[in-house]
Amino acid sequence: MPELRQNLATKQWVIIAAERAGRPQQFLEPYRPLTEEHPEHDPSCPFCPGNEELESEIVRVTIGEKWQVRVVYNKYPALHKEGERIRSFDGVHRRISGVGHHEVVIESPRHNLCPALDTPENLSVTLQTMQSRCRELTEDPRVEHIICFQNHGEHAGTSLLHPHSQIIALPVVPYEVRMRAEEARRYFDDTGVCVFCQMLHDELQAGERIIAENASFVAFVLYAALSPFHIWILPRRHEASFLHASPTELADLGEILRYVLRKLYYGLRDPDYNYVIRTAPLRDPSHEYLHWYVTVVPRVTRAAGFELGSGMFINTALPEDSAAFLRSVRDT
């Protein structure tokens, strides 16, 4: 019999209908080794060394004479960095001028490097660079919320192979982010406990959905995973904002994120995926009830009319099976 499960923090329901499908192997991608199919350097790639003039640079991290990570302005930004934030409300016409920031973090000079195969140190440098960009963007009084994310592969929404992630700084707190904060506040009101700390405690006790742990983080498949291998990487220390993560935590995040990405890479043959850093709205002082984390979503299924009409998902994999499968995968 299928079962409906609810995420304790977000209150979203999901239908777990594992009998509709088979074993975790059903999600295996055809094998496609990036390093063999693509060159280490592509002269036509705007992110490759030699083309640094093509994109306007914001920050560069170097080792010796070579750059390791660069942050550039997105050439086709979703928001403009110049201009005033103007709200206007006239009947159905509710709008805000599209000001904000849209930056690209180029994670390596190497064109065909799959993030899963990066070194933990490099990944930590990327995360540190993201954090320092977020801190600087906070100085802009027009910015209310920041989303840091990576799209890997075409089904995850990118056509550029060169490893990169993106930062979008918004002039508004998205509705969904506000609702999640609201639910977390309600839980805190009722119990005096951060709902994410509670989930971490419960998941550690249950054990069966854990994929990895280190000194600062726990990675697990969600009890109410919206899709197969839907993963959260939660910091053990209660902290609302990614901007306040310590250098040690960022190093530990680089290590565990790489481990999780490698499990997906070797277990599912380099699936397309998105990861997102979910952090508190910038102007929200609610340190007691919010908790930042990273969510990783391999794009192995597709949302259809039911998902569109209900906001619910149908997950054809049992989260406990997904976790056991990932635990069993060798990460080399």
Of 287, 94, 285, 275, which is closest to residue 172 (Cα–Cα)? 94
> In this chain, which of 134, 169, 199, 240 binds its own copies, going by CB under 8 A?
199
Q: Which is nearer to its own copies, 42 or 208 (CB)?
A: 208
Q: Which is nearer to its own copies, 45 or 277 (CB)?
A: 277
Which single residue is written with the structure tokens 């499960």?
5
Taking the C-alpha atoms of 309, 291, 103 and 97 in order, what is their torsion angle to the nearest 10 degrees?
60
Q: Residue 248 Cβ, how far from its own copies at the closest point, in Å?
A: 25
Please report whether residue 151 would count as binding its own copies according to CB under 8 A: yes
Please report whether residue 320 would count as binding its own copies according to CB under 8 A: no
Q: Which is nearer to its own copies, 4 or 60 (CB)?
A: 4
Determine how many CB atoms are found less than 10 A away from the CB of residue 238.
Answer: 16
Q: Stretches 49-57, 239-247, 284-292, 300-308: which one binds its own copies (CB under 8 A)?
A: 300-308
Please report whether residue 291 would count as binding its own copies according to CB under 8 A: no
> In this chain, which of 312, 321, 324, 327 binds its own copies, going by CB under 8 A?
312
What is the full DSSP assignment across 222-242? -TT-SSTT-EEEEESS--S-G
- The residues facing 70 across adjacent strands are 60, 106
Please report whether residue 156 would count as binding its own copies according to CB under 8 A: yes
> In this chain, which of 83, 141, 160, 213 binds its own copies, going by CB under 8 A?
83
Instruction: Give how many residues touch its own copies by CB under 8 A.
Output: 76
The answer to whether 166 and 150 are in contact (CB under 8 A) is: yes
Please report whether residue 241 would count as binding its own copies according to CB under 8 A: no
Please report whether residue 22 would count as binding its own copies according to CB under 8 A: no
| Identity at 198, one-letter amino acid code | Q
Of 250, 274, 60, 244, which is closest to residue 138 (Cα–Cα)? 244
The answer to whether 279 and 241 are in contact (CB under 8 A) is: yes
> In this chain, which of 107, 118, 203, 255 binds its own copies, going by CB under 8 A?
203
**Phi, psi for 191 (deg, rounded to 5):** -125, -20
Q: What does the alpha-carbon distance between residue 187 and residue 73 come to, in Å, rounded to a whole number?
A: 39
Active site residue 164: yes
Determine how many CB atoms are found less than 10 A away from the CB of residue 16.
Answer: 21
Please report whether residue 6 would count as binding its own copies according to CB under 8 A: yes
The residues in 255-274 that bind its own copies, with binding defined as CB under 8 A, are: 274
Q: What does the alpha-carbon distance between residue 21 and residue 38 come to, in Å, rounded to a whole number?
A: 33
Please report whether residue 11 would count as binding its own copies according to CB under 8 A: yes
Q: Which one of 111, 164, 230, 291 is the catalytic residue?
A: 164
Please report whether residue 276 would count as binding its own copies according to CB under 8 A: yes
So which residues are the catalytic ones?
A: 164
